[in-house]
Structure 1
Amino acid sequence: MSQPTQEEEILAQQALAEAAATEASSEETSGLSQGQIVRKRFFGHTGALVGLAVLAIILVLAFTSVGAWGLPGWWKYNYLDVSPLVNDGAPTASLWPLAWGEHPFGQDRIGRDLFAMTMRGAQQSITVMVLIGAIAGAVGAIVGGLAGYFRGWVEAVLMRLTDVIIIIPVLLLAAVVGQIANRRDEGSWFASFASSNGVVILGIFLGFVSWVGLARLVRGEFLTLREREFVDAARISGASNARIIFKHILPNAVGVLIVNVTLTMSAAILLETALSYLGLGVHAPDISLGLLVAQNQEAFATRPWLFWFPGLFIILICLSINFIGDGLRDAFDPRQKKFKAKSAVETTRHSSTTPVVPNVPKEQ
């Protein structure tokens, strides 16, 4: 009679824990639709809820304080207004005693309100982020989906196009677009439009060069899903290619698409910040968070608040998007299971107290 080894006992405990987790997960999601399961998992993710709340606060604060789309805001200063220095330009807000003051984030050297400039910069950075996410998501889904579903020459052409876009130097093209956007050439309709909508042009341009990674991921997902039984059943029943793509395959690949779009949007904030920092993105008199950091880098030792607040908002926006993307990944991936320490300890104790009955050969 052979006694079970320590490794066999550990494997048995892991199998019991996985079975208990699977049973608990099936009990929690029984009777719920796919959308309800996704919502329940997402709203059960603490980090995603915190990121969603922080991003919502930033959006409301940025677009209502200094106004947007021609609508006035509730803050009394504009990002271009110059006023006399108060408290030598230092922030007037304080935690104790709790006070907001005239210029809570302080002022720059010429007297412009840093709170208004930061809110305007957040507007511009968020606009670029949304444009890049929308365009990159749409183009990446279309290119990757067509390449993964049709294969053959369609896949070859689209993937070679993707390879060409990958090798394009983004910084060089951004410099050219930035120069065109800041020209005041009345003879060119594009330059005329770009001079007053530089952020839109920058977002559209970066969106059309940021979809390649997403297209590869969607293509891989479509290659897997097109071989599944439900796709074969739809094809046998006479469904068209468009119906199979949009009604059967795409809903099953939406998890990969949404998660990677959120990660692309987070990277877009950093890309816009880097371009503006290098002078290739948003230009004065307009403002963005990256441009604020670039303009005030020399004042870090003497007036550090000019650097702190724009940098803080960049960090908060990026972290919020990343947390939301992490929550969406866990919500859409059915293989993700929450690890509950208490349940795991109880399962381990139960399995350790339960004797393992070895296999005893029957007598012939």
Structure 2
Amino acid sequence: MAQQVQGVIARSKGAPVEVVTVVVPDPGPGEAVVKVQACGVCHTDLHYREGGINDDFPFLLGHEAAGIVESVGDGVTEVAPGDFVILNWRAVCGRCRACRRGRPWYCFDTHNATQRMTLLDGTELAPALGIGAFAEKTLVAAGQCTKVDPAASPAAAGLLGCGVMAGLGAAINTGGVGRGDSVAVIGCGGVGNAAVVGAKLAGAARIIAVDLDDRKLATARTLGATHTVNSSSSDAVEAIRELTGGHGADVVIDAVGRPETYRQAFYARDLAGTVVLVGVPTPEMGLDLPLLDVFGRGGALKSSWYGDCLPSRDFPMLIDLYLQGRLDLDAFVSETIPLDGVEEAFARMHRGEVLRSVVVF
């Protein structure tokens, strides 16, 4: 029997979000209904509201979430009612060419729930990243549920569902940061600071955080940065080179996603070093680099989509590290808020006042 719950939607481009009644259908084959316990407020949700993803309004926002599986549809074996799960937006298919080659983190045919949640009048909602977790309950594909240790705080665990995983994975999975490496991270919001944490976990010897905001740089210091550079008053490329013996960093992670920051990352890396783009550009952005420099500097230019993570592999491992006290996910939870606090949380996020506001149910 369909259920009615409260959820946050973006009804039209740029309009303030609204708390409305959402109809959640019973799970069909391969689907699960999850009672959401916590959901982080991510920049991607703001991009949806501003029409920066697509124009499939109205959107049911929210995607960085953890909760309890309430019910499952036919054929579901991955999870069962009562399981504590982190929701992910990469339910791998197991059949595409990437999965068949043993690279499921590149799955080219990820999927979401087949049914749509709706408003009371029957209007179909487009769930953000196929999740829609600014709601008391949400309907997802069962493969979007990753079971983890229920001892974890839902507010902290849910952040692995997007931003924190993206940053950690950019360093560990995509960048391949190793022991003794030098790493520079450009942009120290939630994703960038997670990249700092990832570099520290991987054993980097020197971690250089770059930002325009001294508050964010101070946070990066607490999370593991060994050096900071305020690029409003210093040349970031020259500062990174100076801090790495004049050579540049082994791995430079652009967590902003603008042509200016990508150029900084490109020229701030050592010869044969790696650039990782994890910040999300907007459609109109372009990049102009001398092709001879691309050839002559060698190394690798990579993009990192969701930190190249495999949720079934990475989420349980990272939650174990969290419970062992080796990964401070709680440090990313700047505040907890009620469901009707999302609009104000967007404003605080835009002003750079928080790493993450988290809706707690």
Q: Please identify which structure carries the higher strand content.
A: 2
- Alignment TM-score > 0.5, same fold: no
Q: Which has the larger radius of gyration?
A: 1
TM-score (norm 1): 0.23
Higher relative contact order (CA 8 A, sep 6+): 1
Q: Please identify which structure carries the higher helix content.
A: 1
